[in-house]
């Protein structure tokens, strides 16, 4: 059962990517700057635009919204099933109760945050609460990865590769949070929108890559 929980992570990553590609294909159009654009513009539309029930051009976006929100829930579930096994393995080789608690609690908060990101879309009616859970998800994920790095460095059983990958991901998350909080407002102009959307695309890709290496490490560790 443990191997199944670990290996399903690959399927979770693949399904998330596939569903997002489909959602992008069917997105009607419009950005937060220009409602006249057609289709999904990779560097000018946020992932959250896919989850909105009404596209920025005013057309119905129900199909893409269902697909995108499902992909978020599937990835959160896949991550959860993976961590059930991965964290058990980690806890089994550590007697640091405080660090174990911080690892578990931070990932639970992060995954819960991203689940609520899917539940509360970035449509005007729920925009503020959507952004709140986006920040909860990313801030707690950053905290979790810092704890994860400290944990990995304290245990010889982990490879140098996962240590390097984790540290790299921590740095990327930190830079993303800086851009998200202190970067130009995406509502200002297309250049500012490009910066914010591109940084989001990079960090989402980084999350998937990091998840991939975690699965690889868990398989080796197991």
At 125 the pLDDT is 94
d(CA 116, CA 73): 9
What backbone torsions phi and psi does residue 60 show, to the nearest 5 degrees?
-65, 140
Question: Which residues 6+ apart lie within 8 Å of 50 measured at CB?
Answer: 20, 23, 24, 27, 40, 61, 64, 65, 67, 68
> pLDDT tens for residues 183-192?
999 999 999 9
Mean pLDDT of the chain, nearest integer: 92
Question: Which residues 6+ apart lie within 8 Å of 155 measured at CB?
Answer: 90, 93, 94
**What angle, rounded to 10 degrees, do the helices at 62-92 and 2-26 form?**
160
Greatest Cα-to-Cα distance within the chain, rounded to the nearest angstrom: 58
> pLDDT tens for residues 46-99?
999 999 999 999 999 999 999 999 999 999 999 999 988 887 777 777 677 888
Question: Which residues 6+ apart lie within 8 Å of 154 measured at CB?
Answer: 94, 96, 99
- How many residues are listed for the chain in this entry? 222
The residues facing 54 across adjacent strands are 60
> pLDDT tens for residues 198-212?
999 999 999 999 999
At 154 the pLDDT is 80
At 184 the pLDDT is 96
d(CA 122, CA 156): 43
């Amino acid at each position: 059962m443990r191997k199944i929980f670990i290996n399903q992570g690959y399927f979770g990553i693949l399904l998330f990517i596939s569903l997002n590609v489909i959602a992008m294909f069917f997105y009607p159009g419009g950005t937060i700057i220009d409602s006249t654009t057609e289709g999904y513009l990779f560097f000018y539309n946020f992932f959250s635009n896919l989850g909105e029930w009404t596209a920025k051009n005013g057309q119905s976006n129900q199909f893409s919204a269902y697909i995108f929100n499902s992909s978020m829930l599937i990835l959160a579930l896949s991550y959860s099933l993976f961590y059930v096994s991965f964290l058990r393995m980690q806890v089994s080789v550590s007697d640091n109760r405080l660090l174990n608690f911080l690892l578990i609690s931070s990932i639970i908060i992060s995954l819960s945050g991203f689940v609520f990101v899917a539940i509360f879309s970035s449509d005007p009616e729920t925009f503020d609460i959507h952004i709140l859970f986006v920040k909860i998800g990313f801030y707690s994920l950053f905290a979790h990865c810092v704890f994860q790095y400290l944990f990995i460095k304290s245990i010889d059983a982990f490879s140098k590769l996962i240590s390097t990958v984790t540290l790299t991901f921590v740095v990327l998350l930190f830079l993303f949070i800086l851009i998200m909080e202190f970067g130009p407002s995406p509502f200002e102009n297309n250049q500012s929108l490009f910066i914010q959307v591109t940084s989001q695309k990079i960090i989402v890709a980084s999350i998937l890559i990091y998840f991939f290496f975690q699965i690889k490490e868990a398989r080796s560790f197991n």
